[in-house]
Amino acid sequence: MTVLKTKNLTKSYGGKVAVDNVSLTIEQGDIFGLIGQNGAGKTTFMRMITSLTRPDSGQIDLFGATTSAKLTEARTRIGAVIETPALFHNLTAVQNLEYYRLQRGIAEKSRVQEVLEIVQLTDTGKKKFKNFSLGMKQRLSLAVAILGHPDFLILDEPINGLDPTGIVETRDLIKRLNQEGITILISSHILTELAQVANKYAIIHHGRLIKTLTQEQLHTECKRAMAVTVDDAAKAAVVLETALGIRDYKQVSGNELRIYEYLHDPAELSFQLNHAGVRVASIHEVGDSLEEYYIKMIGGNVQ
């Protein structure tokens, strides 16, 4: 089932395009990671989905709703933390949650305590939100977002300001919520973190969607391998199988092979190929982390 589908979503501010014709689809059960530099358009995209900003053009399909009225109704199935945590400064954690429980018509009073336990903020007592650390504020905002049992969670940089323990806890929480059936759209500029939770990715650069890929595709693209350029790929394949017993390899272009085993000894690999009369033009290791892959995708233009 499709949770969110956008078509050519566009938003400009004063002639500068913040989001440029972004079309993407998020399926139920996904943890969809939005990757991009600051100002790439991730937050603006999320703001349009949550109706904080109106798109200049394009369509949003949320749980099958496309009209303005239906979209408003569909958004009650969303939990969102967009940009900085914003809750009532003079209320405590419990009071803030109680306010949103009443406002959203959530009958179960025990839900307040439940979400406080989930985000591990049960011991804040009479401390007011304004006196919370940034990490505590992030966690309380997340508690408000999940208060109404949402089907779709939108989290904009949820680990900003968290200490290492908080980051691990948030990561585990996101995975747990997803296992409970919540679809998640998450943005972060800490790509190593995103790589550990998301199962699909979209790379946004200068407002444009450059690429979407699944975790499997990312692994394939980023998998460590030996890239070998030879004069005769077919002959080289025979040598790999017979002389070295290599099975995990593929021909990526006319004369280039990508070999996923035997990475520990490229000299032996080269020797065996030469010995069999295959001329090796180049041999080098390839493969990226999500971070390296992202930088490659945006053309190394990291400002």
Partner 1 sequence: MMNLIRADFYRISRGWVVYAPFAGLVLLHAIAMVLNSYAVSGTMYVEFLLGGAQLLFTVSMIPFVFCVSVPIFSDGTMKNDISWGMSRTKLYVSKLLVMAMLSALLYVFYIASGMALATIIGGVGDIVPGYGMNLLQAMGAQMVGVLALCSVMIFLSFLLKKPYVLTEALGAVLLIPMLINWISAIFHVDTSWVLYFDLMSNIERFASFHLLDSRAILIAFGVVAVWMIVPSAAGITLLRRAEIK
* DSSP symbol at 119: T
Query: Which member of 67, 90, 110, 301 binds partner 1 (CB under 8 A)?
Result: 90
| Alpha-carbon span 198 to 35, nearest angstrom | 11
* Residue 88 beta carbon to partner 1: minimum distance, rounded to whole angstroms: 5
* Residue 245 beta carbon to partner 1: minimum distance, rounded to whole angstroms: 56
Query: Which member of 8, 23, 59, 89 binds partner 1 (CB under 8 A)?
Result: 89
DSSP bridge partners of 71: none
Would you put residue 113 in left (φ > 0), alpha (ψ -120 to 50) or beta?
Answer: alpha
Query: Which member of 21, 51, 196, 215 binds partner 1 (CB under 8 A)?
Result: 51
* Residue 265 beta carbon to partner 1: minimum distance, rounded to whole angstroms: 55
* Residue 173 beta carbon to partner 1: minimum distance, rounded to whole angstroms: 19
Contact yes or no for 31/199 (Cβ under 8 A): yes
Site string for partner 1, 93-112 (x = CB under 8 A): --x--xxx-xxxx-------
Query: Which member of 23, 72, 113, 253 binds partner 1 (CB under 8 A)?
Result: 72
Choose the stretch contacting partner 1; rule: CB under 8 A; options: 80-88, 192-200, 248-256, 274-282: 80-88
| Alpha-carbon span 258 to 184, nearest angstrom | 34
Choose the stretch contacting partner 1; rule: CB under 8 A; options: 66-74, 241-249, 265-273, 287-295: 66-74
Q: What tokens were used for 95?
A: 């009071």
Using rule CB under 8 A, residue 86 touches partner 1: yes
Contact yes or no for 109/118 (Cβ under 8 A): no
Cα 81 versus chain centre, distance: 15
Q: Which residue has the tokens 């691990």?
A: 168
Phi, psi at 171, each rounded to 5°: -60, -45
End-to-end CA gap in the chain: 38
Site string for partner 1, 153-192 (x = CB under 8 A): -x--------------------------------------
The alpha carbon torsion through 209, 215, 219, 222 (nearest 10 deg) reads 20
Q: For partner 1, give the closer residue by CB, 98 or 261.
A: 98
Q: What tokens were used for 252?
A: 């990526």
Choose the stretch contacting partner 1; rule: CB under 8 A; options: 21-29, 50-58, 175-183, 256-264: 50-58
Choose the stretch contacting partner 1; rule: CB under 8 A; options: 44-52, 212-220, 280-288, 290-298: 44-52
| Alpha-carbon span 289 to 271, nearest angstrom | 29
Q: Interface residues with partner 1 (CB under 8 A)?
A: 47, 50-54, 72-80, 82-84, 86-91, 95, 98-100, 102-105, 144, 148, 154
